[in-house]
Copies of this chain bind each other. A is one copy, B any other.
Amino acid sequence: MMTRRGFLGFAGAVIATALGMACTQEERPVTTPTPEVVEKVVEKEVVKPLPAPPWEYKKLNPDKVAELAYQGYMGKTFDGEKLPGKACCFGAFYAIVKSLADEVGSPYTEFLPVASIATVGEGGLVGWASLCGALNGAAWAIWLITPEEEAKKIIDELYAWYMYEELPKYKPPKAMKAELEPFPTSVANSVLCHASVTNWCKASGYKAFSAERSERCGRLTADVAKKAVELLNAVHEGTFVPAYPLDEKTKSCKGCHTKGSALENTRGKMACWSCHTKEGALRIEEVEGHPKI
């Protein structure tokens, strides 16, 4: 028998024990719960760097590239649509790179907006009349596309062809600067804009800043781009055979004057007689009646 007091004491103890047991024995979260970790994926756009050249090449249509180069020179299409650059160097560079953006896609497509910088090569580099812009632009494009060894062979062939060939040959569907029939041609004997232009002006009778001379350079740009693509195609197919060695006189000069020779006092592949003869480069004193400077 238990007294009331005894019971209360006992009941209290029971309750306390029950409480103590209740919330410890059962596994109920009583401490700070471990939060559930949820991953929120945040995409950060990082522009992919362009891959290191050379890039992929696919055979191009030389005539189509010629047509695009001519329009590139003119700074607009035959339909009057503005292009992102102009003149010789841009014409050649853009025609090749744009054609590959169409044929191959990436990375030419991502690179294409940069092609506008080739405008720098205009008139032998910002009008300095040094290296012909079409040749300069074509060379940079070739190096983008082909491994070094092949690129050098292509450029050597292209430059020699340019020196010795009667040009221009290209005929646009519609002349954008001047229509002349037949169109006057000349042999440059040089890769330099200065000599190339002067020789054409001499042969044609047109002035150096005329629309006709501009038309000539536009067509020449088309010829250069076309030739570059023909060479790229040939190398791509494994059918390339050099057909434009340096002329015999130049080779003879180089034999004593360039690499490994007795004198070894200069460098280059430009036709020497183009500057180092009276026929090549007149002097003031040789021109009768020429004012003294």
A23 to chain B, nearest CB (A): 5
A218 to chain B, nearest CB (A): 15
Check A270–B128 contact: CB distance below 8 A: yes
Given A50-B113, A114-B111, CB of A126 within 8 Å of CB of B155: yes
* CA gap between A50 and B112 in the complex, in Å: 8
A273 to chain B, nearest CB (A): 8
Q: Inside 8 A of A194's CB, which chain B residues have their CB?
A: 266-268, 270
Given A14-B14, A35-B33, A52-B116, CB of A44 within 8 Å of CB of B41: yes
Check B144–A136 contact: CB distance below 8 A: no
Check A43–B40 contact: CB distance below 8 A: no
* CA gap between A10 and B8 in the complex, in Å: 11
Given A33-B29, A131-B125, CB of A120 within 8 Å of CB of B106: no
Residues A70-102 near B (CB distance < 8 A): 84
A234 proximal to B (CB < 8 A): no
Stoichiometry (number of copies): 2
Given A131-B131, A268-B128, CB of A120 within 8 Å of CB of B155: yes
For A125, give its contact among B46, B129, B136, B266 (CB under 8 Å).
B136
A170 proximal to B (CB < 8 A): no
Residues A132-178 near B (CB distance < 8 A): 135-136, 139-140, 142-144, 148, 151-152, 155-156, 159
* CA gap between A48 and B127 in the complex, in Å: 34
Check B47–A46 contact: CB distance below 8 A: yes
Check A116–B53 contact: CB distance below 8 A: yes
A264 proximal to B (CB < 8 A): yes
Chain-B contact segment, one of A181-189, A200-208, A223-231, A237-245: A200-208
Check B268–A49 contact: CB distance below 8 A: no
Given A266-B129, A275-B275, CB of A111 within 8 Å of CB of B50: yes
